[in-house]
Amino acid sequence: MQDKYLPADIERAAQQYWDDSAAFRVSADASRPKYYCLSMFPYPSGKLHMGHVRNYTIGDVLSRFHKMKGFNVLQPMGWDAFGLPAENAAIKNQVPPAKWTYDNIAYMKQQLKSLGFAIDWSRELATCTPEYYKWNQWIFLRMLEKGIAERKTQVVNWDPVDQTVLANEQVIDGRGWRTGAVVEKREIPGYYLKITDYADELLGDLDQLGGWPERVKLMQANWIGKSTGVRFAFKHDIADADNGGGPIGDGKLWVFTTRADTIMGVTFCAVAAEHPLALHAAKSNPGLAAFIEKCKHGSVMEADMATMEKEGLPTGLYVTHPLTGKQVEVWVGNYVLMSYGDGAVMGVPAHDERDFAFAKKYGIEIKQVIAPIQLVGITGTLQDKEQQLYWKGNTDDFSVDAWRPSYAEYGVLVNSGAYDGLSAAQAVDAIAADLAAQEVGEKKVQWRLRDWGISRQRYWGCPIPIIHCDSCGSVPVPDDQLPVVLPEDCVPDGSGNPLHKREDFLHVDCPKCGKPARRETDTMDTFVDSSWYYARYATTFGADKMVDDETNYWMTVDQYIGGIEHAILHLLYSRFWTKVMRDLGLVEYREPFAHLLTQGMVLNNAFFHKPEGGGKNYFWESEIDIQKDAKGQITGATLKKDGTVLEHELTTMSKSKNNGVDPQALIEQYGADTARFFMMFAAPPEQTLEWSDAGVEGAYRFLRRVWSFGHVFGSEIRPQIGVQRQLAGAKLPEALAAFRREIHLLLKQANYDLGKQQFNTVASATMKMLNALEKAPREGALAAEVIEECFGILLRVLSPLTPHISHALWAQLGYGDDILAAAWPEPLEAALVQDEVELMLQVNGKLRGSVRVAADAPKDTIEAVALTHEMTIKFLEGRPAKKVIVVPGRLVNIVG
RNA sequence: GCCCGGAUGGUGAAAUUGGUAAACACUGCGGACUUAAAAUCCGCCGCCGUAAGGCUUACGGGUUCAAGUCCCGUUCCGGGCACCA
């Protein structure tokens, strides 16, 4: 064998072997347990970045590990190929998004191949191909039939200069990214999927997802946000001529609250700018009309809504409190959303932080109605069944001067008339009952989750299969005319959807009446594409069905791996989609992903400049000079060409921020095995990783040492092994036994860590194994046999991480033909036994030394040895030992 | 602002889930080999102290024989917030 480690040759040969033997091409096989290992497919942005290498190496380690454990392993790959970056590239370079996307796919596929992933490429798919997105359209039509999809209005970011809808990402500080114009909210029609119909099931089934991280389930549960509250109405007789002179909303202003216990503290109501009461009042109030107009500016993002200055204006209208009968003034608030609940809220300044700030700002009354519980008396004794506790609310600590978080806590009702002294739960029951008696309210379950708006006013996406006819309205495209194919030669210019200018796409005859009609030009949210690709991979390739029977063999996905940034939206939409497919009779399973590994983000610094008029211009690190302090912390950055001072942020690697690090240079210089090993060694998978290539050399050095040990083993050690093997049952010399024990202990730890999916310590276990192997006794047949066994263990543990070098050494050193076919190693109990153990000796919790005892020494013996230890005597300073704690196999702590 | 995470030497990190803090590496320093360089190998490397020893897991409290790990409060950093994917 070659004495130098030449990764390029080794990797080419191994990949050739896997290709020639179709090693990763799989089909359904009921005789073996299956393992469907899926990594989130990449957006084809141009080049792989380190986040991809991390994601796909994790998937590959798990795939190869399970393959060696005897599973029928499916690991597919494809492309999340529709989306905004292709349009941005088109604007910049005048290249059609289709060409840009397909070119990127070709390049990135070759990069993935060079990393040696065990992928079944025969199942590759790209979501921008008609044979894939046809089924988006097909199932969308089924959802329309079932009433799961519907058309209603949506609020979007509108750029008044470019006359186009902006994605949230394209809105920076409330302005359009290209024009710098202040963004407006605009209502337009669009299609929605009723994910809220599945809210209960999506929440309830989280309990079935034992293989998901708790934090992801918690995030999803909070997102779905089930809350039980009370929906009730304030009565009024505000009439409007446009309403035929009748009272607006039947004379009821509906609101929803989760804190009905504070209802007696209501001192105002706030409605959204688009609320009928606001519009009514604005007719005779130019100031209010102007305020309502102003509320239309700004973005639709929740984060912006939550952090903006809360402003309001009184309408001069009053409504009647249903329980006190008092008049309550109605305000218009810029923080109240028409699209959420009834577009109105009750204001309780004393017990809600936002209402408190609003009331202070506008001089609205603040009335305390909740107070901390204070015990005022007990009758009887603890044994007395008639025992009574008496309490009241303690109002001493309340002040209207400044908000305190404790004001929002649950307590006892005060200043609430008949409800005084009730707890929150009792009060909600009593108040809901009283409201119900008047028929102006009831308990209601409210969800935070909103329906999923899938219409996008963009070109590079899946066309929504609808035809608009003047006579027949919105008509679904008949199934036999699917797919509605997206023309692939358009070049967007940033000023709206280029499909509007495509006469050949636009004009079509109405399928119902045959008259000339117009195609829908909106395309689908790209989350639609990624909501079911896992099921398509598992379907017979090219099947003329959305999914076929094979999907029921492979699904559900046994292990899903992807970035934590997808914890809510993508994963929730996929779960929803699976349930819809089940209800349409397409699949048998109800959850798509059994186990989820949420990979931590790979972060890198991004450098940007904010030009006048808004937006952020990002620069590549090669374009700038970076200033650092003595500790290596970045203190500033300037643009090389003109010295412009730049800002910087630590953030996830992305195409749009020019901060992605391409792994290509790493692979070319060191090889795929080094890149993979280093990536796994750098940090545990779930942890955020700040990118740095310091340490790549170390990984490369390690693999070189593995190779040269292999060479020494093959040429000097292995030849010592006799014809008759002697290892089984042999009594080994102490040094040899200790070495063997060390390897088997490391194997035990590595297997444990693989179970925990903590691959960085698996990598360090392999390094420790090599350190031990290099120092192991080498002379004699017995030593050679032990080394053969232990090096074989190292190669197999290493193989999921660095498959190429492991493949080459395994075959060349005669361990077998194919390491993938070898059985995964398990530690031998016989190799692990130990006569003596070392226990740490603590005196009063501080480490003072250690004691060696027989592995099976009873507690008394250990105590006796510890108590007579010189350090015990020294640090007890003559005091008697009050207590001795023995933790078997670990330590002795003497308390005195 | 709200929801979810994270913070350990100069650096990436480890700690078998409450029981030796810093394993394994990177960097740096010193040495061997070499005409020389590279590669390789050996040694040292948390802070204070000559030592004995003391201190140390973002910060401040608490529980415990024992806390990086559990509880309470705070700071900073990251992810998500529904049209980036």
Q: What is the DSSP letter of A717?
A: I
Q: What is the ipTM of this complex?
A: 0.96
The pLDDT value given to residue A380: 65
CA of A599 to C1' of B58 (A): 24
Q: Residue range A455-462: average pLDDT? A: 97
DSSP letter string over A863-881?
HHHHHTSHHHHHHHTTPPP
The pLDDT value given to residue A272: 92
CA closest to B15 C1', residue: A761
Q: pLDDT for A68-118, tens place per residue?
A: 999 999 999 999 999 999 999 999 999 999 999 999 999 999 999 999 999
The pLDDT value given to residue A530: 98
CA of A45 to C1' of B49 (A): 57
Q: Residue range A341-357: average pLDDT? A: 91
Q: In whole angstroms, what is the distance from residue A457 CA to residue A164 CA?
A: 8
Nucleotide nearest to A568 (CA to C1'): B80
CA closest to B65 C1', residue: A895
A484 close to A137: Cβ distance less than 8 angstroms = yes
CA closest to B18 C1', residue: A887
Burial A780-818 (b: 16+ CB within 10 A, else e): eebbbbbbbbbbbbbbbbbbbbbbbbbbbbbbebebeee
What 3-state DSSP class applies to A137? Answer: helix
Q: In whole angstroms, what is the distance from residue A47 CA to residue A56 CA?
A: 14
Instruction: Categorize the per-residue pLDDT at A338 as very low, low, confident or very high, splitting at 50, 70 and 90.
Output: confident
What percent of chain A lies above the pLDDT cut of 70? 98
CA of A71 to C1' of B64 (A): 46
What percent of chain A lies above the pLDDT cut of 90? 73
Report the DSSP beta bridge partners of residue A292: none
The pLDDT value given to residue A629: 64
Exposed (0-12), middle (13-18) or buried (19+): which is A693, by Cβ within 10 Å? middle
CA of A708 to C1' of B34 (A): 21
CA of A606 to C1' of B29 (A): 34
Q: Residue range A327-349: average pLDDT? A: 91
Nucleotide nearest to A708 (CA to C1'): B40
Instruction: Tally Cβ neighbours within 10 Å of residue A1.
Output: 12
Instruction: Categorize the per-residue pLDDT at A651 as very low, low, confident or very high, splitting at 50, 70 and 90.
Output: confident
Nucleotide nearest to A766 (CA to C1'): B24
The pLDDT value given to residue A115: 97
Exposed (0-12), middle (13-18) or buried (19+): which is A187, by Cβ within 10 Å? middle
DSSP letter string over A776-803?
S---SHHHHHHHHHHHHHHHHHHTTTSH
CA closest to B27 C1', residue: A694
Cα A12 → chain centroid: 35
Nucleotide nearest to A570 (CA to C1'): B85
Question: Which comes out higher in pLDDT, residue A550 or A879?
Answer: A550
A583-592, A593-602, A716-725: the lowest-pLDDT one: A716-725
CA closest to B5 C1', residue: A215
- Indicate if the pLDDT at residue A562 is higher than 90: yes
Q: pLDDT for A497-549, tens place per residue?
A: 999 999 999 999 999 999 999 999 999 999 999 999 999 999 998 889 999 99
Beta pairing, strands A836-843 & A268-271: unpaired
CA of A517 to C1' of B7 (A): 61
Phi, psi of A61 (to 5 degrees): -60, -45
Instruction: Categorize the per-residue pLDDT at A784 as very low, low, confident or very high, splitting at 50, 70 and 90.
Output: very high
CA of A511 to C1' of B2 (A): 48
Instruction: Categorize the per-residue pLDDT at A382 as very low, low, confident or very high, splitting at 50, 70 and 90.
Output: low
Q: pLDDT for A612-646, tens place per residue?
A: 766 688 898 888 888 776 566 677 788 988 889 88
Q: What is the DSSP letter of A433?
A: H
Q: What is the DSSP letter of A490?
A: -
Element (H, E) at A560: strand A559-563
Q: Residue range A679-686: average pLDDT? A: 96
CA of A567 to C1' of B2 (A): 17
Q: What type of residue is A687?
A: Q
Nucleotide nearest to A190 (CA to C1'): B83
- Indicate if the pLDDT at residue A811 is higher than 80: yes
How many residues would you count in chain A? 896
CA of A271 to C1' of B17 (A): 51
pTM reported for the whole predicted model: 0.94
Strand B, nucleotides covered by protein (CB < 7 Å): 1-6, 10-17, 19-21, 23-27, 39-42, 54-55, 65-67, 77-85
Report the DSSP beta bridge partners of residue A560: A38, A596
The pLDDT value given to residue A34: 97
Q: In whole angstroms, what is the distance from residue A658 CA to residue A793 CA?
A: 43
Q: Residue range A189-205: average pLDDT? A: 97
Q: In whole angstroms, what is the distance from residue A762 CA to residue A753 CA?
A: 6
- Indicate if the pLDDT at residue A51 is higher than 90: yes
- Indicate if the pLDDT at residue A269 is higher than 90: yes
CA of A859 to C1' of B66 (A): 18
Nucleotide nearest to A891 (CA to C1'): B19
A345 close to A336: Cβ distance less than 8 angstroms = yes
Q: What is the DSSP letter of A180?
A: -
Nucleotide nearest to A456 (CA to C1'): B83
Q: pLDDT for A299-331, tens place per residue?
A: 889 898 888 888 999 999 999 999 999 999 999
Identify the residue whose tokens are 């390739």.
A541
The pLDDT value given to residue A76: 98
CA of A432 to C1' of B78 (A): 43
Element (H, E) at A290: helix A286-295
**A267: nearest Cα among A399, A405, A335, A360:** A360
